[in-house]
Amino acid sequence: VSDSFRYRRRVQFAETDLAGIVHFSWMFRYMEEAEHALWRAAGLSVSAPGAAIVWPRVSATFDYRNPLHFEDEFDVIVRVDEVTRRSVRFAFVLERGDTPIGSGTLTATSASRNGDGVLRSVAVPEEMVERLRAAAIG
């Protein structure tokens, strides 16, 4: 997929559960790790100290196809999927070689933190989105 960023990861022991496979909640952390690696590839950080804009989540989804096991190496493929005035949706595919593991989305909204810590919705900065898209294309 040409508009996507690829993040490689290995399954750690603590991520498995008594069913002998990766616990389903870890897919959401794998997606987030890949998204944050994309921000770094774009020369950015999702959470730079003192940043003017923060990115609270508004939605997260995952559809499971095949399980992951201890020490599996797999890829998380991430791209900028949909951008609105107030939100960015990232889309993800997880695969281990030719085996599909599943696919999901994370949607974040852009907000600024005012003096007393309360979040206020702000417009998504276009330049940031352009840098993320450019980094995804690689």
The residue ranges that bind its own copies (CB under 8 A) are 12-14, 16-21, 23-25, 27-29, 32-33, 36, 40, 45-47, 54, 56-64, 67, 70-71, 117
Nearer to its own copies, 59 or 112 (CB): 59
State in angstroms the smallest separation of the CB of 81 from its own copies: 16
State in angstroms the smallest separation of the CB of 117 from its own copies: 8
Report how far residue 105's alpha carbon sits from residue 21's, in angstroms, rounded to the nearest whole number. 21
State in angstroms the smallest separation of the CB of 104 from its own copies: 8
Report how far residue 21's alpha carbon sits from residue 63's, in angstroms, rounded to the nearest whole number. 16
**Cα–Cα separations (whole angstroms), residue 44 to 4, 8, 127:** 17, 19, 11
Nearer to its own copies, 48 or 137 (CB): 48
- Number of other CB atoms surrounding residue 78 within 10 Å: 28
Nearer to its own copies, 108 or 136 (CB): 108
**What letter would DSSP give residue 124?**
P
State in angstroms the smallest separation of the CB of 123 from its own copies: 20
- Number of other CB atoms surrounding residue 16 within 10 Å: 18
Sheet holding 53-54, edge to edge: 53-54, 111-113, 119-121
Nearer to its own copies, 2 or 88 (CB): 88
